[in-house]
Structure 1
Amino acid sequence: MAGNLFGKIAADTLGISDIGKIISPKDFDKVDGDDYIMHEDGEKIFFVIKSKTDEYVFTNQGLLHVDGTSAISKKRTVVRHEFCYERVSNVTLETAGTIDADVEIKFSFGERSFSIDVDKRQLEELKDLYKTLVEISRMQKSNYRLLEDGTNGLKMANDAISRCHIDGSNISTIAHDLTNFNLDWMEALRKTYNKKDFTEVYEKYINN
Structure 2
Amino acid sequence: MLLYCKMRLVQASEMVLTGGWRTLLRDVFYLNRVAVPVEIALDSLRPVTDFKRPPDESVLELSTELLAQRRLVYRFQSRYLKALNYLGQGYRGFALVKGETVAGDIWCADRRQETRATAHPDELWLGIQCAPGEAYTFDMFVDPAHRGGNLAAALQNGTLHLLRKRGITKAYGYFWADNLPALWVHRTLRWRELQRVRASRVLLSKKLNVNSQSAP
TM-score (norm 1): 0.29
Structure with bigger strand share is 2
Say which structure, 1 or 2, has more relative contact order (CA 8 Å, 6+ apart): 2
Whose helix fraction is larger, Structure 1's or Structure 2's?
1
Larger Rg: 1
